[in-house]
């Protein structure tokens, strides 16, 4: 058992009240949730609580996604509460999403009484067993006296090392018990000691290798965001003149308008970014898992490069690709150490080669993917480009669902800061973006928040329009409506002889649906209507649903087919570029 020094606040109260006081002690003032029978004691205390605002969602999955959107937008741990049984199982997708992408959540799940656990009681589910593979840690609370300690542990685990979700299962009878409130001052968790400082010699070796590189490239991943290493990464890249590419989750960690930016790499990444990684001699990867969407055929990934890999999670290093110089540590600390070691007055060892390398990449940049069709219908790329044009100076937060629109947003919207793109990476969760945008809006109340969605994915959690109305969350929802599950249809077109098996979908009249909830609805079918519609949505003080009717058979390019190396890129149906 962990040893914890405590200061005593001599007051006896029930477990539900202790829970809320512990949350307040952790700085929590907003939570997302959905009540149920075993949670009635907690909701009774919430009724009297004036220091925590509860946002009632319409589905438990949305509560978790909203909490994650809040965490992504603010950097704080998001908190959600759901009831036992189906309430808790409905939350699993959200928990798994946060786990794969590495964002801090504390999820409170109701549970039947301790005496009923294992007896197939009404709305009982083994949430500890179910979440074990998809959360960072979980607890089944059986002693109310341990609740303050468990809450303290949960927030510490969720927000340190590689962040992630922590689940606390709260039996009904335990929460009803009374105890004396004792806030832990100090926490010790034997066996859990994340390493934040990279080994000095490893940092030195990495810097030496970068200085001697002729064709270096930096990959900046999503792990740079929670460790806040983006300023140091930008400084190092600028000082050493090294081009930087981002993973999908790392978008915003390096300014898109920096001349050294290569944009996103990977399956639907920029052609030149993929070629740069494939032809580099030193690859400096910071905060990335090296998943299959960025490596392609892993046996042919960066074959001639020496690879430096920095990550706070030691399990991520060497898991998917070979690594020559592993550095376990916080990206900010590791990059700062390397900057302190770097002598800017020391000449580059191969300056001419580095100049030629940048020139070669600039030549690759001239090759661009083109729209598939030339019809008079509205192109989805043009919609997203217009949203970018009209929001780029507003420091907007852009959330997406998953699919074609997600990839077009990643390609076309130029993010210069972190925490501006909120999207599902590792799990690829349809239905994520809308509730996540709500959470982001709660966390950043004065910011403009857009959710760019597909007509398929928006229907996964469209019931949350009611939540937006209840709390006047002015999220602007842009539906790229092509009448298909677009990304799946794209694969069917290319690899299954255009057999569009169950990918053509029907949708409600989104404008009428929005209006039925009391939300402003706008439909756009022509290019000349874009600017006026988007401006109208921005000016409107409440939530808005925009239904953009677009070309149904547009394809996302560039495209690296599954199993191919990332330097074999399709730029259109007819054009294949290979280095």
Residue 566 contacts residue 305 (beta carbons within 8 Å): no
Residue 487 annotated among the catalytic residues of the structure? yes
Helix (H, G, I), strand (E, B) or coil at 468: helix
Residue 123 annotated among the catalytic residues of the structure? yes
How big is the chain, counted in residues?
A: 579
363 Cβ contact partners less than 8 Å away, ≥ 6 residues apart: none
Q: Which residues are paired to 138 by β-bridges?
A: 167
Residue 183 annotated among the catalytic residues of the structure? no
Residue 13 annotated among the catalytic residues of the structure? no
CA 265 remoteness from chain centre: 17
**Catalytic hit among 123, 180, 367, 392:** 123
Q: Is 75 left (phi over 0), alpha (psi -120 to 50) or beta?
A: left
343 Cβ contact partners less than 8 Å away, ≥ 6 residues apart: none
Beta-strand relationship, 520-524 and 544-549: parallel
**Catalytic hit among 267, 487, 546, 555:** 487
Beta-strand relationship, 576-578 and 568-570: antiparallel
Q: Is the dihedral of CA 339, 343, 347, 349 positive or negative?
A: negative
In SS3 terms, 221-278 reads as CHHHCCCCCHHHHHHHHHHHCCCEEECCCCCCCCCCCCCCEEEECCCCCCHHHHHHHH
3-state percent helix, strand, coil for the chain, nearest multiple of 5? 40, 20, 40
Q: How far apart are CA 136 and CA 163, in angstroms?
A: 8
- Per DSSP, 374 falls in state -
**Catalytic hit among 9, 44, 122, 341:** 122
Q: Is 419 left (phi over 0), alpha (psi -120 to 50) or beta?
A: left
Q: How far apart are CA 421 and CA 412, in angstroms?
A: 12
15 Cβ contact partners less than 8 Å away, ≥ 6 residues apart: 41, 144, 147, 170, 174, 175, 176, 177, 178, 179
Nearest to 452 by CA among 399, 407, 387, 513: 399
Residue 366 annotated among the catalytic residues of the structure? no
Residue 163 contacts residue 104 (beta carbons within 8 Å): yes
**Catalytic hit among 21, 45, 60, 464:** 60
Nearest to 450 by CA among 380, 391, 519, 509: 391
**Catalytic hit among 17, 152, 162, 172:** 172
Element (DSSP H or E) covering residue 101:
helix 92-101
Nearest to 258 by CA among 221, 230, 291, 277: 230
- Residues with catalytic function: 60, 122-123, 172, 487
């Amino acid at each position: 058992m962990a040893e914890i020094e405590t200061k005593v606040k001599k007051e006896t109260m029930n477990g539900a009240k202790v829970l809320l006081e512990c949350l307040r002690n952790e700085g929590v003032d907003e939570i997302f949730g959905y009540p149920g029978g075993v949670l009635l004691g907690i909701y009774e205390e919430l009724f009297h609580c004036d220091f925590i605002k509860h946002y009632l969602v319409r589905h438990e999955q949305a509560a978790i996604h909203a909490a994650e959107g809040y965490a992504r937008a603010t950097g704080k741990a998001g908190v959600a509460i759901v009831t036992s049984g189906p309430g808790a199982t409905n939350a699993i997708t959200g928990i798994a999403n946060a786990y794969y992408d590495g964002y801090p959540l504390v999820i409170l799940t109701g549970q039947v009484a301790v005496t009923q656990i294992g007896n197939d009681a009404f709305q009982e589910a083994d949430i500890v067993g179910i979440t074990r593979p998809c959360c960072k840690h979980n607890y089944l609370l059986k002693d109310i006296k341990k609740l303050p300690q468990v809450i303290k542990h949960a927030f510490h685990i969720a927000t340190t090392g590689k962040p992630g979700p922590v689940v606390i299962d709260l039996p009904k009878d335990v929460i009803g018990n009374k105890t004396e409130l004792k806030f832990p001052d100090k926490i010790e968790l034997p066996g859990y000691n994340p390493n934040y400082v990279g080994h000095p010699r490893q940092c030195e070796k990495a810097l030496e290798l970068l200085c001697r590189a002729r064709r270096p490239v930096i990959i900046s991943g999503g792990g740079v965001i929670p460790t806040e290493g983006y300023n140091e990464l930008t400084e190092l890249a600028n000082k050493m003149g090294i081009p930087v590419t981002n993973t999908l989750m790392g978008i915003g960690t390096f300014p898109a308008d920096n001349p050294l930016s290569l944009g996103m790499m990977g399956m639907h990444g920029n052609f030149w970014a993929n070629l740069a990684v494939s032809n580099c001699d030193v690859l400096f990867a910071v905060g990335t898992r090296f998943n299959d969407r960025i490596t392609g055929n892993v046996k042919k990934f960066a074959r001639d490069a020496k690879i430096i890999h920095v990550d706070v999670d030691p399990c991520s290093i060497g898991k998917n690709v070979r690594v020559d110089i592993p550095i376990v540590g916080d990206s900010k600390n590791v990059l700062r150490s390397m900057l302190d070691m770097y002598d800017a007055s020391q000449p580059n060892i191969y300056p001419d080669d580095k100049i030629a390398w940048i020139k070669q990449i600039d030549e690759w940049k001239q090759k661009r993917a083109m729209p598939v069709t030339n019809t008079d219908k509205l192109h989805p790329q043009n919609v997203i480009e217009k949203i970018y044009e009209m929001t780029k100076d507003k420091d907007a937060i852009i959330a997406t669902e998953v699919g074609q629109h997600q990839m077009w947003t990643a390609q076309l919207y130029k993010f210069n800061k972190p925490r501006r793109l909120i999207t599902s990476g590792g799990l690829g969760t349809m239905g994520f973006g809308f509730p996540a945008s709500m959470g982001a809006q709660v966390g950043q109340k004065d910011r403009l928040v857009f959710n760019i969605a597909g007509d398929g994915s928006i229907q996964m959690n469209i019931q949350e329009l009611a939540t937006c109305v209840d709390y006047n969350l002015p999220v602007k929802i842009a539906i790229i409506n092509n009448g298909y599950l677009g990304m799946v249809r794209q694969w069917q077109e290319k690899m299954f002889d255009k057999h569009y098996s169950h990918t053509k979908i029907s949708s409600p009249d989104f404008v009428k649906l929005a209006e039925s909830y009391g939300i402003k609805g706008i439909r756009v079918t022509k290019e000349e209507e874009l600017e006026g519609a988007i401006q109208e949505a921005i000016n409107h003080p409440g939530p808005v649903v925009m239904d953009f009717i677009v070309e149904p058979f547009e394809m996302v390019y560039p495209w690296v087919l599954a199993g191919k190396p990332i330097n074999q890129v399709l730029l259109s149906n007819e054009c294949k570029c290979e280095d």
